Amino acid sequence: MPRLLLLIALAAALLAACSPSAAPPAPTAAVENTPAPTAEPTAAVENPPGADAAARPAWQTVALTNARTGEAFTLADFAGKTVYVEPMATWCTNCRAQQNIVRDVRNQLGDAQHVYLSLSVETNITGSDLAAYAQRENYGWTFAVATPDLLNALVAQFGRTITNPPSTPHFIIYPDGAVSGLESGRRHSAEELVAALTMAGA
Q: Is 29 inside any structural domain?
A: no
Task: Kindly state whether residue 116 falls inside one of the protein's structural domains.
Answer: yes
Residue 71 lies in a domain: yes
- The range of the structural domain enclosing residue 169 comes to 58-200
pTM: 0.72
Band of pLDDT at residue 55, cut at 50, 70 and 90: confident
Q: Answer whether residue 16 is part of any domain.
A: no
Residue 89 lies in a domain: yes
Q: How far apart are CA 9 and CA 13, in angstroms?
A: 6
pLDDT at 42: 30
Helix (H, G, I), strand (E, B) or coil at 98: helix
How many domains is the chain partitioned into structurally? 1
- Cα dist. 73→1, 63, 84, 182 in Å? 115, 6, 15, 22
For residue 134, being part of any structural domain is answered with yes
CATH of residue 101: 3.40.30.10
Contact 57, 179 (CB under 8 A): yes
Domain assignment present for residue 10? The answer is no
Tell me: pLDDT of 88 over 70. yes
> Does residue 117 lie in a domain region?
yes
Residue 95 has pLDDT above 50, yes or no: yes
